Chain A
Amino acid sequence: MKIYTKLLLLGLFAVSPLSYAASGLAFIHGTGNQTDALSDYWTRDFVDSVRQGATTPNNYVVINCNFDQYMWEDVAAGCLAEQLTRFIDDKAITDLTLITHSNGGNVVRWVLSNPTWDGRYPKIINAISNVIAIAPSSGGTPLADAVNQGNVFETSLGWLLGYGSNAVKQQQVSWMSYYNNTWLNGTAGRPTLGKPFEVIVGSDVDSAFWDSDSYCAGYQYQVALETTQNWLDDCSDGFLECQSQSAAGTVWFTDKQRTAGREPLSHQQSRRACFNLDTIIADHI
């Protein structure tokens, strides 16, 4: 009798697989304490365009957490776990794709690497099918070292690093080296993440004032980003060196290999609908 029931269930699976495998998409921001990341971090244009590539475009969530703190903090990874768990439960998600930018990749790697830290993590890990990490700060950035050197008690405004926060400390080069060696998986010689972690690398900053491409996502950012290249390798997106971005997971592509007009993606542009980045991701997911 029991076997008969199971066969019946198998039959139901065979005719209606979609009812048991809902897919979902989550957008996970970088450093910063976000309350409206859709508008303030990503832009609706980008999110709406990317999710059109999903099987169920309306199954998406834009995460808003305090990623100014260390990645493991309850307001950081704990908040991410809370919002992802709610999304997974509400939509019965079994096939979750995460799209991260910058330090968001580190917070996701924290969850994937430390399933025993928090009772919510295993369920999330089991639901994740893929991570697309746009310009992840996997190896840290010398700019974080520059900001942290000396006694810093307060800092001026900045869109990239936040306010001299613990997240900035964490993204110093030697700090990330320690975390990659101890608490985060996915870099060379370390255990794998268990899920695909596909990286998009930004390799250059284009700030020529006569080139209209420099204006995507704001010309003023582009000019300033080129200034800070002095603290970075020649291959960088103005904030992160290419080797930092590609330190964990596998490189899906480096900007110029796929972007429209073979344009580079600065760190500002890689979270916006610049040079077809949005449609490239939409076609992939």
Chain B
Amino acid sequence: MKQSIQLASLFAIASLLTACQSEDTASNATTDKQASVITTVQLLQPSGNDLSVTDITASALPPINQSHDAIGFSQSIDATLNLVAPSLTQQQNSDQYWRTVSGAQLNAGIKLAISQSESVIRIAPRGDNRSGGLIHSPAIAPEQLRLYKINKNGIDRSASMIHSTSDPQAMATAGIIDDSSALTLSKQASAGQYQLQVMQPLAAQDSYLINVKEKGSPYQLELHAPATLASSNATLNFSLAISNSDIALQPTATLKQSDGQYHQLTLVNVDQQWQAQLPEALTLPSSNRGLSEIQLDIETRIDNKPIIRTVKTAFKQYVPSAMWGESAQIHWQQQLPVKAMLDLQIANPGRYELSAVLVGTDASGAVGNILRSQSALWLEGDGQVSLIFDRDTIIASGLKAPFFLQALELKDQGQMARLSYLSHAAQL
């Protein structure tokens, strides 16, 4: 911190010197004015991982950010930082599965597939409001749990397959705070079918989540799915595979929208890719807050072991509410770009943010980043957004023409969605 104070002092002194320079520059305002020019550049076409909007649609949901303040911000960035286009997909792996069962089923005993002895079973009471009021199922006392192996002669009750248990209080203090109980399997447990039973009487309609976690299992279910989904898309494409096996999978899919509602989805296999089909009503986001999730469940057998897995991933459902024009106006002063103005066409009033990185060229012809500029404002209709490029920062970078506009990005701060991204936007 002491060093920072010295730096701050130096910065303050430098600021004053800059002020001196600014005044000198101001005295040459006429010269500057003569040196100011405006050029128009065409934006390049999207490629690779770029994201673009071609038709805009109005969002019917209330915007999250309703601020009408126009805010601009820029800061220098590392000249050598590699500007990477945002990933359009997400990958998730799973070595576990979930099942929802009733109190009646738990009292009668449920069958669970286990593929390894080092497994953990968690039993979590869940809430249900289908009756109109919230019903929260009671926690299960660990001593009320029974776990037996099912062999070809039926349930083998001669040996408990429970090694240890944890009660809801212990689970809560460790970060799993949903009244869960958990048990670990004994070392004697082998892959196969088991019966889990709860001895304490439960109401028939009580609801419980059963979570079987098989840490370190060689059979990981791997999901690749989009990170975002525009409302114009009626299908969500994903790939699904299980490690150490090339067995064909028959998944079932569930969509959980950001309002918490679950919907079963129809799946179609097209060219070894899966398509989850979304009914029209589900293509629109149900809320701007939060994310949607797709959950895939599979059941199969590998090496004569029963393998059950659940995997899920989050994605943003959004409406393509705005798009930029085909060109940008670049304002120059003394041969340096000081501002870029882009037209925005919008489908609904809202708060939109534009950002980009200004890139320059050194004496050897190598390009380097100079600064990142961001600008957000509230628009009632189509309008313009300006990105300011600080002249002093450009000079300090030592980089010169040709300049480029890169990592151009448009976000809707009302929906909290990225609408467009252009890795290489233009040469200025």
Contact = CB atoms under 8 A, between A and B. Distances in A.
B320 to A, nearest CB: 15
Given A151-B260, A153-B129, A178-B227, A285 B316 contact: no
Interface centre among A121, A157, A166 (most CB of B within 10 A): A157
A125 B74 CA distance: 11
Q: Is the interface of B mostly helix, strand, loop or mixed?
A: mixed
A209 interface: no
A169 B209 contact: no
Contact of A164 (B20, B75, B177, B293): B177
A95 B136 contact: no
A38 B215 CA distance: 37
A114 to B, nearest CB: 8
Interface stretch (A41-49, A190-198, A255-263): A190-198
B9 interface: yes
Contacts of B191: none
Nearest to A70: B289
A220 B173 CA distance: 8
B8 A146 contact: no
Contacts of B84: 189-190
Interface in B246-294: 260, 289-291, 293
B92 interface: yes
B178 A152 contact: yes
Contacts of A147: 176-178
Interface centre among A163, A173, A192, A227 (most CB of B within 10 A): A227
B314 A174 contact: yes
Contacts of B9: 13, 17, 20-21
Contacts of B67: 117-119
B171 A116 contact: no
A181 interface: yes
B363 interface: no
Interface residues of A, number: 81
Contact of A21 (B12, B78, B134): B12
Given A174-B313, A178-B90, A231-B213, A155 B174 contact: no
A27 interface: no
Given A72-B64, A146-B211, A182 B316 contact: yes
Contacts of A267: 175
Given A174-B313, A183-B416, A227-B166, A161 B173 contact: no
A11 B314 CA distance: 58
Nearest to B209: A150
Given A150-B98, A174-B313, A227-B166, A21 B8 contact: yes
A267 B291 CA distance: 27
Contacts of A10: 13, 16-17
Nearest to B69: A119
Contacts of A70: 289-290
A160 B170 CA distance: 13
B4 A130 contact: yes
A238 B127 contact: no
Nearest to B71: A116
Interface in B39-76: 64-65, 67, 69, 71-73, 75
Given A10-B13, A116-B71, A174-B90, A55 B1 contact: yes
A131 to B, nearest CB: 13
A223 B374 CA distance: 47
Contact of A228 (B8, B176, B314): B176
Interface string A226-267: 111011000000110000000000000000000000000001
A164 B180 CA distance: 13
B424 interface: no
Contacts of B228: 182
B92 A173 contact: yes
Contacts of A118: 67, 71
A97 B1 CA distance: 8
A175 B1 CA distance: 35
A9 B9 CA distance: 12
A230 B170 contact: no
Contacts of A231: 120, 176, 213, 215
A151 B208 CA distance: 10
A225 B78 contact: no
B2 interface: yes
A158 B20 contact: no
A276 interface: no
B375 A157 contact: no
A33 interface: no
Given A153-B127, A221-B173, A2 B122 contact: no
A20 to B, nearest CB: 5
Interface centre among B9, B174, B290, B407 (most CB of A within 10 A): B174
15 contacts: A3-B20, A20-B8, A21-B4, A115-B374, A117-B65, A145-B312, A149-B124, A149-B211, A155-B177, A156-B179, A178-B316, A189-B87, A191-B77, A230-B213, A285-B1
Interface of A: 2-3, 6, 9-10, 13-14, 17-18, 20-21, 23, 53-55, 70, 72, 94-95, 97, 115-119, 121-122, 125, 129-130, 141, 143, 145-147, 149-164, 166, 169, 172-175, 177-178, 181-183, 189-192, 194, 220-221, 223-228, 230-231, 238-239, 267, 285
Interface of B: 1-2, 4-6, 8-9, 12-13, 16-17, 19-20, 23, 64-65, 67, 69, 71-73, 75, 77-78, 81-84, 86-87, 90, 92, 98, 100, 120, 122, 124, 126-129, 134, 136, 139, 166, 168, 170-180, 182, 184, 207, 209, 211, 213, 215, 227-228, 260, 289-291, 293, 312-316, 353, 372, 374-376, 407, 413, 416, 418
Given A150-B126, A153-B127, 14 more contacts: A13-B13, A55-B2, A116-B72, A117-B67, A122-B73, A141-B175, A150-B209, A151-B127, A153-B136, A154-B134, A191-B407, A221-B173, A224-B173, A225-B175
